[in-house]
Amino acid sequence: MNKTQCLKFNLIGTVVLIAGCASTAPQENPLNAVGQGLSTIESAAQSGKQIIDTGTAAASTVSTNQIGLVDILVRQLGVSQQQALGGAGAIFQVAQGSMNPQAFATLSQSIPGMNTMLGAAPASPAAGGLSSLMGGGGNTLGNMAALAASFQQLNLSPNLVGQFIPIITNYVSQTSGQMTANLLQTALTAR
């Protein structure tokens, strides 16, 4: 007997057993217990579905400043979470080197997970050397060279730097205001 035949035989046997039990007294009828159990399971499933639907509706109303920056980068650019973390961290490292400490502290406080992003940025001694050859870390060409090297270490195209920066500055604008976003933009394009 193959598995399909065995399954059919077991199913027929179960139906015969249940049908035979159905003829017993109502208080001892196992079908009543099964029916009550199924009703309870169906009710629990409906409650669970309502909870999920409520959570989905609430999640769809979340504004972009409540969604993490890394999630936005992953969704909009199709990069991995680790690449988004490292790329954002590299951009914030460049900004940190160009901003005064108080301005960077304000920026850091407005970005959830800033320390994680900074920690995920690749250490790039080659970028630092290239940056100094191009006139130091405080100029646009040097900053972009450092970012290109960091992005390559993350297996990202250096062309993505130009796509990361506007998403990040827009996010900063939404989380801590246009003035902080302008400070970030200025730090990244310092001449």
pLDDT of residue 158: 92
Tell me the Ramachandran region of residue 148: left when phi exceeds 0, alpha when psi lies from -120 to 50, beta otherwise.
alpha
pTM score, whole prediction: 0.60
Q: Give residue-wise pLDDT tens across range 164-187.
A: 999 999 999 998 899 999 999 988
Q: Which single residue is written with the structure tokens 């976003």?
A: 181
What confidence tier does 155 reach under pLDDT thresholds 50, 70, 90?
A: very high
Longest dimension (CA), the chain: 94
Q: Give residue-wise pLDDT tens across range 100-152.
A: 899 899 899 889 899 999 999 998 654 444 444 444 444 677 888 889 999 99
Task: Say how far apart CA 173 and CA 30 lie, in whole Å.
Answer: 64
Radius of gyration of the chain (CA): 30
Which residue stretches of 23-123 are H helix? Answer: 30-60, 69-77, 81-98, 101-110, 114-120
Q: Around 19, how many Cα atoms within 13 Å sit in the side-chain half-sphere?
A: 6
Chain centroid to CA 3:
44
